[in-house]
Every structure is written in structure tokens, then in C-alpha cells.
Amino acid sequence: MPAVFLIAMCVLAYLVAYFVYARYIQNRILRLDASRKTPAHIKRDGIDYVPARKMVLFGHHFASIAGLGPIVGPAIAVIWGWLPAFLWIVFGTIFLGAVHDFMAGGVSLRFGGRSIGDITRDIIGPRARVLFLLVVFFVIGLFMAAFAVMVSNFLVQFPKAVIPVCGLIAVATLMGLAMYRWKIQLWIATVAGLVAMVGLLHLGLKYPVSGVSADVWMLILFVYMGVASVLPVWLLLQPRDYLNSFQLYAGLALLLLGIFALNPSMTDADGTIPATCKLAGDGGRALPMVPFLFMVMACGAISGFHSLVASGTTARQINNEKDLRLITYGGMLTEGLFALLVLIACTAGLGYGAWNSHYNADKIDHLGVFKQGGANIASALGIEFGLAEILLSVMAVGFAMTTLDTATRLLRFNIEELGKSFQIKVISNRYIATLIAVGWIAIFAVLKFGNLPAWKVLWPMAGASNQIMAVLGLLALTVYLYRMRRPTIITLAPLVIMIVVTIWALVATLVNDGIAKSNYILAAVAGALLILAVWLAVEAVLKALELRRTGRGTPEETEAN
């Protein structure tokens, strides 16, 4: 089957979803109103609550949710063939992921820009809020430790990426000052920022920065994450992610145009890349497609982390309620398209011979697979293979960096909210909360169990723990809709699907990777997460039964800022 046919079907489905389904959610479910003041205006503080231009915020949101997820996820999912991954990207994004992100942002607007974990108290109850916040605390710490290790190793392996990645921090800071302090028009600041990015790329190619160890890079990253999480969002986070999003747009264009120029097929002269199969993959053990496809490919379809971004940072910067559909639903569709292009790069872009060699190896370099397949596709546009690899590498590490600083800020919010829950005033301070956030991430990255760092010991359950956040978010959103007397099917159906596959995956991980391998630390943490998830689900059911017995609320009771 021609790869361009998959792209055409996906784009058509996404356009219909955006203009029909997302508009229905906007007008009939969330009832967004352009005349209503948003939390960014009501609570404007110049730090976290700052009204942002629509396209600037789209770039920030898109860069924050993307990260390495839509690259690594599809690259792993190919062990089950390209067809299941393609279907999950298309239908998962439309009916699960984009709805999850859109609803999380919309409900946050109704609760003053509070995070989805925090507003769980109002929707379900105080215990549910604490349970949600504890899950978020664990999951962000685990994922950001892994990302910090990956980025630090990446900067050692690709010294030509150092100047473009690090130099962007200074460029973004200047752009933030230009837009918000010096009142320079957005298009002028954008052009200047993009020219500077091209210049940084040129300098990076000419002057690679080598000789810095991964440990030193990790220390630098921890300092950066802490500083970025307390700076005003307009000064670094927002313009940095906005500029970084252009790298992803460029990557999208590079892959999209290259696919149309190369016109690759799943069938080539050497053989056929199977639509469905069951390879052993990186771990040497053949995992069942169900439930693990839905765990490894999260950001290309649905990811619990996205609800934290949509409610924790994006909702606090929305200038007009009607902007939310483009930023959250549209942002998720764009990420889904990117995931599809990565899927094609890792299959048709490689060709059968290279695909068979990579995916039957004992150790799979998933980023390497993407870079090789992507560079093959870009070569059809006349771009030299090595240069294409470097461009894709800079894009990948740049998006990992955006996730690091956004997630650290979200973890800081989470710790502040835990401080309020347990009435511990000292950790409600944003500077103390930031130190705790960075320290918690560092523990996962540095602390060792035996010969392995903590994050690696717990990594087999990373996908399931992330999707537990999606389950908990969908639980809160479903109870909210039930309470508001609005159709619940749009979140209830995704909730049922995600509960089944996530609990299934978590139990399988606990048994096969924890107990069977005597990894009792993994087993204990997986068991604790399972208990927390089930407990919160019970809390949600009890709340629904209570509402049914006592009568559901009114919009005035539950929809006030």
C-alpha cells in the first residue's frame, strides 16, 4: 500500500473530526464563550497566568505535549506491524486523545485555570484529589528522569546539536522581552527568532561542542529545569516552545514532502513489511499487542501527561475561550499526523531489508531507526543524508528539552497543591516546591538499585503509569459531565477502553516484569499505582451514585471561576 494513501486517509479523517466533532464539543459540551473572561485575564500575575496570542500558545502547547513520545512510540509499535499502529493513531487521536486534551483544558477554564488533579477535589472529593496528585508526582518524576538521562547522553553523542539546543534558550528569552516588554510585533520577533535559529544550526555544524560528560550535562539540565520552572512563563517557556514548534513544523514538512517525492510503499523490491506481526522487540520477549500497543504509543494517540499540560499551563494562558479548540484538539491532531509520518519513516522509509535487520536485532535503537528512515525520505528532496540526520536529531532533542522545562513547572504546581492539601505551608512556596521537584527527578535519575538507576528499574511500567493519568483525568471529566447534566459518552467510552487496557498492562507488568523476575521494587510500585488507580475509580463511582441519589448540581454550582 502506498504511504501517501495512509496520509490522505488520516488527514481527511482529522479535518472532519476538527470541523465537526470538535466543534460539537466546543459548542454543545463545553459551551465555550468568546465573551467570557478567561483565567489568564482574571488571575493575571505575569508569571503563570498570562494571556497569549493564539499561535504562540499553539506552539507552546504543541511543543510541550510532543517531546520524544510521538517519535519513540511509533518506532516501538512497529513490532506489531504498521496497520494496528496506523489505526490507533487515527481513531485514538480523534476519539480519545484530542477529546481528553480538549476537555481537560475546557474544564480547567471553568475552574480558574486549576490543574485537572487539583479540581478533582471539587468534582469527586478531597481524597480523590490527593490520590490524583500523588500519581502525578510519581509519574512526572519517573519520566523526566528518563528524559534528562536521554538528553544528556544525546548531547554527548551529537555535539553538533549543543549550540542549536542551548543557544535557543538565549534567543527565546530575547524574544519574550521583545514581545512583552519592548512591544515588538509578533511577526518581526518570529522572523528574527527563526533567523537566529538557522544561524545557531550553522554554528553548531561548524563548531561542535564535545568533551563534556553526560553527568555534567545532567547537572546543567537540572539547573536549567529549576530556573525555567520559576521564571515568568512569557520570558522563556512560552517563546522557547513557540520557536521550537517551528522545528517540528519543519520536520513535518520535510517528512511530508519527502514522502510525496519518494512515494514509498510498504512493498518494495526486497519484500513486504507486514501489516501485522509479532516481533520480540527490544526486551527479547514478544509482548502481546493488546494491551501494550496502547501503552507504548501514547503521545500519538492519548497520553495522560497531556491533560496536565492542557490544564496546568495552557488553560492559564488562553486569551479567548474559542482559541482552545485549535490549541488542544488541533494540537493533538497535529501530533497524530507527526506520529503517522514517524511510523512511515520507520517502515516504508527504511525499506524491507533495513526494517527486517533493525527490528530483529537484539538491541533496537528506536531514535536511530527514525533518523535513518527519516533521512532516507528527506534525501528524496535533494538533502544530503548526513545533514538530514543532524536536522532530525536537533529536532528530537529540542522537543525533549521543551518537555523537561514544562514538566518541571507542572511538578512544581503539583507539589504546591499537595502542600495545600496537607497544610504544609513551606512547600506551597514556588521556590521550595521547585527545589523539591528537581530533587525528586534527580533521585530517579541518580539513585541506583543494584547496578541500575531507579528510572531504569521502573521503566517497564512507564507506559502504564502515564496512561493511568489519562484514566484518572477521564474519570474526573466524566463525573463533571454527569454532574452538569451533559452527554457523558464522549469521555465515558474512552474511559472504559483505557481502564481495561491500562489495568491489564499494569497487572501484566507487575506479574511478568516484577514478581517473575524478582524485581520486587518494580512489583511494589506497580502494585501501589494499581491500588491508587482502583481506589480513585471507586471514589468516582461513589460520587456518581451520590449525585444520582441527592440530585446533580447546576451550572452555577460547579462552573464558577
Three-state secondary structure call for residue 316 = helix
Per-residue confidence at 244, pLDDT binned at 50, 70, 90?
Answer: confident
Tell me the average pLDDT across 23-32.
97
Q: Tell how strand 448-449 and strand 267-268 pair up.
A: unpaired
Residue 384, φ and ψ in degrees, nearest 5: -60, 140
Model pLDDT, residue 281 = 62
Cell of 78: 512497529
Model pLDDT, residue 174 = 96
Give the domain range for residue 207: 3-44+52-558
Alpha-carbon distance of 395 to 158, in angstroms, equals: 12
Alpha-carbon distance of 20 to 14, in angstroms, equals: 10
- Reported as a single tens digit per residue, the pLDDT across 383-415 is 998 888 888 888 888 778 888 888 999 999 999
Q: Is the pLDDT of residue 558 over 60?
A: no
Tell me the average pLDDT across 230-237.
91
**Where are any strands of DSSP class E within 426-505?**
448-449, 452-453
Per-residue confidence at 1, pLDDT binned at 50, 70, 90?
Answer: confident
Per-residue confidence at 553, pLDDT binned at 50, 70, 90?
Answer: low
Q: Is the pLDDT of residue 374 over 90?
A: yes
Per-residue confidence at 269, pLDDT binned at 50, 70, 90?
Answer: low
Alpha-carbon distance of 398 to 92, in angstroms, equals: 26
Give the CA distances from residue 297 to residues 68, 358, 512, in Å, rounded to whole numbers and listed in that order: 11, 19, 20
Model pLDDT, residue 50 = 93
Supply the mean pLDDT for the chain.
90
Q: Is 527 exposed, middle or buried (0-12, 13-18, 19+ CB in 10 A)?
A: middle
- Reported as a single tens digit per residue, the pLDDT across 483-494 is 999 999 999 999
Between these two residues, 561 and 103, which has the higher pLDDT value? 103
Per-residue confidence at 268, pLDDT binned at 50, 70, 90?
Answer: low
Model pLDDT, residue 285 = 63
How far from the centroid of its chain's Cα atoms is residue 117's Cα? Answer: 17
Q: Is the pLDDT of residue 557 over 50?
A: no
Model pLDDT, residue 66 = 83
Cell of 550: 441527592
- Each residue of 2-22: b (16+ CB within 10 Å) or e? ebbebbeebeebbeebbeebb
Between these two residues, 283 and 305, which has the higher pLDDT value? 305
Q: Which candidate, 69, 222, 218, places its Cα nearest to that of 149? A: 218
Q: Is the pLDDT of residue 252 over 80?
A: yes
What's the CATH number where 8 sits?
1.20.1740.10
Lowest-pLDDT range of 123-127, 280-284, 365-369: 280-284
Alpha-carbon distance of 466 to 8, in angstroms, equals: 30
Residue 373 CA neighbour count, 13 Å, CB half: 35
Model pLDDT, residue 462 = 87
Tell me the average pLDDT across 181-185.
93
- Reported as a single tens digit per residue, the pLDDT across 37-61 is 999 999 999 989 999 999 999 998 9
Specify whether the CB–CB gap between 396 and 71 falls below 8 A: yes
Lowest-pLDDT range of 278-292, 328-342, 538-552: 278-292
Count how many residues are written for the chain: 561
Q: Is the pLDDT of residue 321 over 90?
A: yes
The H-or-E segment that residue 175 falls in is helix 162-180
Model pLDDT, residue 561 = 41
Give me the residues paired with residue 268 across strands.
Answer: 271
Specify whether the CB–CB gap between 173 and 235 falls below 8 A: yes
Residue 300, φ and ψ in degrees, nearest 5: -85, 0
The pTM for the full model equals 0.92
The H-or-E segment that residue 558 falls in is helix 555-558
Residue 85, φ and ψ in degrees, nearest 5: -65, -40
Number of helices (H), then strands (E), belonging to the chain: the values are 26, 4
Alpha-carbon distance of 297 to 360, in angstroms, equals: 20
| 152 φψ region: left (φ > 0), alpha (ψ -120 to 50), beta (else) | alpha
Alpha-carbon distance of 167 to 178, in angstroms, equals: 17
Number of domains in the chain: 1
- Each residue of 389-425: b (16+ CB within 10 Å) or e? bbbbbbbbbbbbbbbbbbbbbbbbbbbbbbbebeeee
Tell me the average pLDDT across 141-160.
90
Count of CB atoms situated within 10 Å of the CB of 280: 15
